[in-house]
Every structure is written in structure tokens, then in C-alpha cells.
């Protein structure tokens, strides 16, 4: 018994010393990645859960297998195989608090439907809201009922999510270095931004980040993600979820300047030469009664109006009012909240020869680039 306890103590002491050595090693210059620090132990199976198509308040989905790919749809204790050589699709609709699945001659009822590959692994699949929208994803799918609508959550690995975001958020023809900067921003958001929703990590709207079909391997977007794989932004050795905007008004803003609460990273208002010289100007008419709560330099009031009238109703926070009968004429500059990395400015910097580090240092002053690790929370809490 004494020998056994002694052996156990030796083992626990060895584990403690190994962890202590790791912490010490990651605090010295030899442990830097790029110009930031690596921290913790590598995680190879990082994944994120993203709610998709929620803006459409769907009551019916069609799930299809991609050509050459088989899916296993599970509803309660029953399974349906979806593949192009047999039955390739299934319809999932809401019926009260239940889901009804129709596939071929089969009809099933359940409170939850899951879709994955044969070994419960990520697989290509197509998700469609009839007559509205259709997208292809690579991951696994979960569909549940909620408040009379269907909630669809796609679980996909981190790097697939990053590629899907920058493909959705970036303008055509964006230079590679600007895409790399965006990839690091998007990845940082996924790593540090969890907790914005209750039953999933993120949504695919402007509330979080747009997420669309994953780009083809070898595309410029995919190359940018691979080239920066695992890299995230940190501020004072802690990860944060960076904000970015399509076009600022010539100078980026801080959250406080647009009525948003403070964040782990304080942000700084920096000059954006491209937007100062080439401002994105816009005009918009909205009904007087819809403008009652709208205030310039207030992101919450802007998004409230956009949620009711469409995301292009009030493109930015920098605008002026003019009454025109029963309408309000808004004249503004910029596109988005104006906080953090300016995508228009980043494209211009890249075209002028700046690399992704230069871009990130400009729009996120006083930050570093670090290698994302599973146990970074050791340093973050």
C-alpha cells in the first residue's frame, strides 16, 4: 500500500512538473508564433455550432445528399439512408412540438432530427427551404422545433467555418493578404466569441458572422485560410472576438462611439486612408414612424430598423436626417458599424503591398498574432 501511494504521488508530481514546464516554456521568446505567443496544448478536433437560415423562420426543410455522398438521417430510434443511388432527400416539417420526416414512402415523427455521414462524421449535404434558399454545407446537422419554427444547427470544424465565413463576407477580387487578415479575424471570433446564443455557438447573420457554402479547395479564400491556419489575435495575452466592418467613413470607431458596450479589446479609432479618399456614400428613404427610435452613431437603433426594414435600410451609423413628407431621407457614409478592421481599407492596403500582419497591426493596434491552442483558457481566466 505504501509503495502504491508513493508511486501515485510520483506520477502526480511528474504531471505537475510537466505542466509547469509547459507554462514556463510558453512564456519565453522561443515559444512565439509569428510575433505572438503560442499557449497550451494543440486541439485537432475544434468545431463550432452555427444556426443557419434562421432569418427565414422556416417551417419546412429539404435535406439532400450530395452526389456520391451518403447521409444517415436519424429521427428518434429510426434511421433513413439518403444517397443519390436510392432516396436522396427527406423533407422535415414542423407539426406542433414534433417534427415530421418524409422520405420516399416513409414518414417518421420525432422531437429532433440529426444528419451525418455513415460513421457519424462530417459530410457534404444540401439544406433547402423550399422556394426560398438552398445551400451546401460540410458538417453534421441537427434540426429541432422552437416557437413554431425549425432551428437548424450545423456543426463544422473550425477551419471549414473560417473558409465559409470569408467566402461569404469578402468582396470578389479581394487580394490574398487581405483575405489572410480576414481569416485571422474570423477565426479569432469563433475561438473567443462563444456564448452569444443559448443552444448553439453562433448564427449566420450580421449578429455574428455570415456563413455560406464552403469555397472550393485551391480557391483564393481556401488558400488564405490554410496559410493562416490556427492563427488568432490576442490582446495582452488573451484572445478576443474582433469586430470588422465593410467600409468605414475614413476613420474607424470605438464601440463607445456607436453606443456599444466595452469589450475584451478596447479598440482604437484609426485613420483609413482609402475610405477617407473614396468614401462609400449612400441614401435611403424610410417611413417617419420607423425612424422614431433611430439615432446616428448608435448601432443598436440602426440594427433595430434594419431588422424591420431590411439590412440595407440604414447601411451605417454615419448619416444625417432630412424630412420628406411622410418619409425620412437618410444621407450617409460607410457600410457597417465602422469598428475594427475595415475590409475596404484592408483591400487597398493589400493592393499597395501591405501583408496581413501590416493590415492587422493597423486596424487592431497593440495586438499580437498567436497560435490557437485548446488550453489557452489556462491563460485566459
pLDDT of residue 72: 96
Burial classification of residue 180, based on how many CB atoms lie within 10 Å of its CB (0-12 exposed, 13-18 middle, 19 or more buried): buried
- Can you give the pLDDT of all 381 residues of the chain as single tens digits? 434 433 444 434 444 333 333 333 333 232 223 333 333 323 334 889 999 999 899 999 999 998 888 999 999 999 999 998 778 999 999 999 999 999 988 999 999 999 999 999 999 999 999 999 999 999 999 999 999 999 999 999 999 999 999 999 999 999 999 999 999 999 999 999 887 788 898 988 888 888 888 888 899 999 999 999 999 999 999 999 999 999 999 999 999 999 998 888 999 999 999 999 999 999 999 999 988 889 889 999 998 898 889 888 999 999 998 998 899 999 999 999 999 999 999 999 999 999 999 999 999 999 999 997 643 333 333
Distance of CA 25 to the CA centre of its chain: 32
The span from the CA of 48 to the CA of 202, in Å, is: 8
Is 161 in contact with 50 (CB distance < 8 Å)? Answer: yes
42-94 pLDDT, tens digit each = 333 488 999 999 989 999 999 999 888 899 999 999 999 999 877 899 999 99
115-130 pLDDT, tens digit each = 999 999 999 999 999 9
Helix (H) or strand (E) holding 202: strand 202-203
pLDDT of residue 373: 66
Angle between helices 176-192 and 356-363 (to 10 degrees): 50
146 torsion bin: left (phi>0), alpha (psi -120 to 50), beta (else): beta
Domains of the chain from N-terminus onward? 47-156 (2.60.200), 159-242+355-380 (no CATH), 281-333 (no CATH)
Name 303's Cβ contacts closer than 8 Å, sequence gap at least 6: 206
Q: Any idea which residue has 477551419 for its cell?
A: 159
The span from the CA of 281 to the CA of 17, in Å, is: 60
Is 334 in contact with 247 (CB distance < 8 Å)? Answer: yes
Name 10's Cβ contacts closer than 8 Å, sequence gap at least 6: none
pLDDT of residue 282: 96
Q: Any idea which residue has 420525432 for its cell?
A: 110
Amino acid at each position: 500500500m505504501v509503495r502504491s501511494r508513493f508511486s501515485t504521488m510520483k506520477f502526480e508530481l511528474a504531471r505537475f512538473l510537466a505542466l509547469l514546464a509547459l507554462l514556463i516554456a510558453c512564456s519565453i521568446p522561443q515559444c512565439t508564433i509569428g510575433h505572438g505567443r503560442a499557449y497550451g496544448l494543440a486541439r485537432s478536433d475544434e468545431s463550432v455550432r452555427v444556426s443557419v437560415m434562421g432569418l427565414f423562420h422556416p417551417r419546412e426543410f429539404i435535406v439532400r445528399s450530395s452526389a456520391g455522398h451518403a447521409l444517415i438521417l436519424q429521427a428518434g430510434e429510426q434511421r433513413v439512408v439518403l444517397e443519390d443511388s436510392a432516396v436522396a432527400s427527406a423533407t422535415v416539417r414542423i407539426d406542433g412540438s414534433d417534427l415530421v420526416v418524409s422520405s420516399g414512402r416513409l414518414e417518421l415523427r420525432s422531437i429532433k432530427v440529426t444528419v451525418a455521414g455513415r460513421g457519424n462524421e462530417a459530410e457534404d449535404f444540401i439544406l433547402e427551404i423550399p422556394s426560398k434558399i438552398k445551400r451546401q454545407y460540410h458538417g453534421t446537422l441537427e434540426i429541432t422545433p422552437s416557437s413554431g419554427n425549425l432551428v437548424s444547427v450545423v456543426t463544422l470544424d473550425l477551419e471549414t467555418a473560417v473558409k465559409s465565413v470569408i467566402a461569404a463576407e469578402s468582396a470578389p477580387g479581394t487580394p490574398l493578404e487581405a483575405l489572410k487578415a480576414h481569416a485571422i479575424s474570423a477565426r479569432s471570433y469563433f475561438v473567443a466569441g462563444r456564448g452569444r446564443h443559448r443552444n448553439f455557438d453562433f448564427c449566420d447573420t450580421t449578429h455574428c458572422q455570415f456563413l455560406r457554402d464552403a469555397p472550393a479547395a485551391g480557391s483564393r479564400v481556401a488558400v488564405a485560410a490554410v496559410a493562416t491556419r490556427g492563427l488568432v489575435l490576442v490582446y495582452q495575452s488573451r484572445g478576443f472576438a474582433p469586430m470588422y466592418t465593410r467600409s468605414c467613413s475614413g476613420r474607424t470607431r470605438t464601440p463607445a462611439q456607436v453606443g456599444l458596450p466595452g469589450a475584451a479589446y478596447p479598440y482604437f479609432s484609426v485613420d483609413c486612408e482609402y475610405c477617407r479618399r473614396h468614401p462609400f456614400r449612400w441614401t435611403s428613404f424610410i417611413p417617419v414612424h420607423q425612424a422614431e427610435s433611430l439615432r446616428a452613431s448608435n448601432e443598436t437603433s440602426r440594427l433595430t430598423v434594419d431588422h424591420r426594414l431590411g439590412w440595407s435600410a440604414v447601411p451605417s451609423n454615419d448619416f444625417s436626417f432630412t424630412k420628406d413628407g411622410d418619409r425620412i431621407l437618410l444621407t450617409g457614409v460607410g457600410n457597417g458599424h465602422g469598428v475594427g478592421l475595415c475590409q475596404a481599407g484592408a483591400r487597398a492596403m493589400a493592393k499597395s503591398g501591405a501583408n496581413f500582419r501590416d493590415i492587422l497591426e493597423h486596424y487592431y493596434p497593440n495586438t499580437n498574432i498567436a497560435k490557437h491552442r485548446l488550453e489557452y483558457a489556462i491563460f485566459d481566466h
